[in-house]
Amino acid sequence: MNYPSLLYTKESSCDKFDPTVFEDLKLTLLLSEEAINAMMTPCHPDDIPVRQELFRLLQSTKVREIFKKLAEIAETIHRLSGAYKAARCDNERNFIFVNLIGSVTSFYHHASELSGEGSLCGRFKDYFLRNSSTTEYKRLLAETDKLLLMNEKVRVNSFKMLGEDLYIRPEDDRPIVARLLKCAIDLGLKDSRETRDVSIKLDPRLINAIAAMNPIEFTAFKEFYNEFKGFFHKEIIAYRSELNFYLEISEIFDKVRSFGIPICWPKAAKEKKFSAQGLRDLSLLAKNERNIVPNDILFDAEEPFFYLTGANGGGKTTYLRSVGIAAVLFLTGCPIPCETAEIYPLNCVYTHFPRDERFEGEGRFADEENRVNEILRSHAGNSLVLLNETYSTTSEELALKLTAELAETIYDSGSMGIYITHQHGIGASKIPFLSVIIDESAENRRTYKIARYRGASGSYAFDILKKYNLTEKALKNRFPVQS
């Protein structure tokens, strides 16, 4: 069954994010695995404003509550689907199938009640509203409601269902250990902190015995399964990660607003550009930071790539993360924490942050080379590449050579990015510099602000050429070579 996606209206041709991107940017501290799974592929450029539209709808309390209910039901469907697949006998399968279809019809009901229009939300609602109006579905729903009552009767009389498993229902719902513990405490014995689940999972033979005790009900479950087993399609489980993605991002930006941080819906730039004013590092919310220092970002076709230098602890990595997070959020249709932004729809984001535990056997330098080579094979000249002290584990002479080669390769490719480095001797590079700003009037106090460094060789002259549209690229555009 082709359920309409809440993420896409068009197939994306972008590269998937490597999972390490979310680790490097510390988004794993803010987002669940389900939400990250939904963000792994940047959306088609046309879907960026479409997702932004849905995020705006989620500012409505009513829409948000329906999404929460749908996410809860999708989680139940996921759990029951696993139990259904793992059923050890037909009677167990048929019993669980009734519960599973009950959750699916509940999902249909709440999806049909969703308010709000738009390409994604409207299409989602219309699909479930249309399919729940058919004669076949109405008959399924009537049978499901009837069998759920029979299902509950069997459950109450014979056993209980905890999660996806069936258990003997004791007269006292407290576990045996809990009852023994109470007796021990009543006798003055020391309280034990150890807890165990001592519920007894039903053996298939016992399930079949219970079915024999309830022949009318289990015959009805069997007939229901045989007639409607084709109705359940596991693809509906995908809504779990899609819904959690929207809910988690919305909740994060609720917190952003409560901290007084501005939020913007980035515009898609028509030419290669990455511009943001007052951008914050969203990952700092994981530390409950409120006073996050804003910075401005500007990449364009003339200056797509920068070195970033400065003292340790001055905010370089924070700046790098803020750029990367903004790009990931934009490419997945989310708002970003800044005042204004205009970003070109990139193909992907690649990161290379130091992390000792990643290499296996060959050594850290070999691991760095392998990861860099993978980025060079993948970035394709229309990506964002963020490098954090790459080649810092080898000799200074070799590191300087490799750093210059890598940075110039990316710069010439047209991909945008930043390279944090402590290597000296790169001042003569054609690549422009960013640097940490130090407040010299306050005993070199760190400001955590990053700005264009004018001291790098040639950078000021380049600014003059750019101002008067006399750069090499600008001249080539104005005076194309005749073939």
Whether the per-residue pLDDT at 359 is higher than 60: the answer is no
Both tokens assigned to 456: 């790098």
Q: What is the residue-wise DSSP string for 396-455?
A: HHHHHHHHHHHHHHHHHHT-EEEEE---SS-TT-SS-EEEEEEEGGGTSEEEEEEEE-TT
Cα separation, 437 vs 452, in Å, equals 9
Give every CB contact of residue 201 below 8 A, 6+ residues apart in sequence.
165, 166, 167
Give the count of beta carbons closer than 10 Å to the beta carbon of residue 134.
Answer: 10
Whether the per-residue pLDDT at 466 is higher than 60: the answer is no
Q: How confident is the model at residue 445 (pLDDT cuts 50, 70, 90)?
A: confident
Q: What is the mean pLDDT of residues 199-213?
A: 79
**Predicted pLDDT at 418:** 94
Give the count of beta carbons closer than 10 Å to the beta carbon of residue 381.
Answer: 13
Architecture of domain 260-475: 3-Layer(aba) Sandwich (3.40)
Q: What percent of the chain has pLDDT over 90?
A: 55
**Predicted pLDDT at 223:** 97
Cα separation, 418 vs 219, in Å, equals 66
More confident residue, 242 or 374: 242
Reported as a single tens digit per residue, the pLDDT across 120-134 is 999 999 999 999 999
Highest mean pLDDT among 307-321, 414-428, 448-462 belongs to 307-321
Mean pLDDT of the chain: 84
Helix (H), strand (E) at residue 352: strand 349-352
Q: What is the residue-wise DSSP string for 90-122?
A: HHHHHHHHHHHHHHHHHHHHHHHT----SHHHH
User: How many residues would you count in the chain?
Assistant: 483
CA dihedral sign of residues 417, 421, 423, 428:
positive
Eight-class DSSP state of 376: H
**Quick one: 461 exposed, middle or buried, by C-beta within 10 A (0-12, 13-18, 19+)?**
exposed
Helix (H), strand (E) at residue 161: strand 159-162
Longest CA–CA separation in the chain, Å: 100
Cα separation, 115 vs 383, in Å, equals 37
Q: What is the mean pLDDT of residues 227-241?
A: 94
Q: How confident is the model at residue 184 (pLDDT cuts 50, 70, 90)?
A: confident
Residue keyed to tokens 């041709």: 13
Per-state percent for the chain, helix, strand, coil, to nearest 5 = 50, 15, 35
H helical segments located in 159-238: 176-186, 204-213, 215-228
466, 473 in Cβ contact below 8 A? no
Helix (H), strand (E) at residue 387: strand 384-388
Cα separation, 42 vs 16, in Å, equals 7
Give ∠ CA 140-146-149 in degrees, rounded to 5.
Answer: 135
304, 229 in Cβ contact below 8 A? no
Both tokens assigned to 46: 């046309």
Residue keyed to tokens 């009037």: 441
**Quick one: 98 exposed, middle or buried, by C-beta within 10 A (0-12, 13-18, 19+)?**
buried
Parallel, antiparallel or unpaired: strands 159-162 and 165-168: antiparallel
Q: From its phi and psi, is residue 389 left (phi > 0), alpha (psi between -120 and 50) or beta?
A: left
Give ∠ CA 232-229-210 in degrees, rounded to 5.
Answer: 115
Cα separation, 45 vs 400, in Å, equals 37
Q: Which residues pair with 384 in a beta bridge?
A: 349, 416
Domain ranges of the chain: 46-242, 260-475
Q: 68-82, 398-412, 453-467: lowest mean pLDDT where?
A: 453-467
More confident residue, 389 or 271: 271
Extract the runs of DSSP E, i.e. beta strands, from 250-314: 267-268, 273-279, 295-300, 305-309
Both tokens assigned to 311: 């003292």
Q: What long-range pairs does 284-293 form, CB within 8 A, spacing at least 24? A: 284/318, 285/30, 285/252, 285/255, 285/256, 285/259, 286/26, 286/29, 286/30, 290/259, 290/260, 292/259, 292/261, 292/337, 293/318, 293/447, 293/448, 293/449
Reported as a single tens digit per residue, the pLDDT across 124-170 is 999 999 999 999 999 999 999 999 999 888 876 555 555 555 554 44
**Predicted pLDDT at 438:** 78
Whether the per-residue pLDDT at 386 is higher than 60: the answer is yes
Q: How confident is the model at residue 201 (pLDDT cuts 50, 70, 90)?
A: low
221, 95 in Cβ contact below 8 A? yes
388, 322 in Cβ contact below 8 A? no
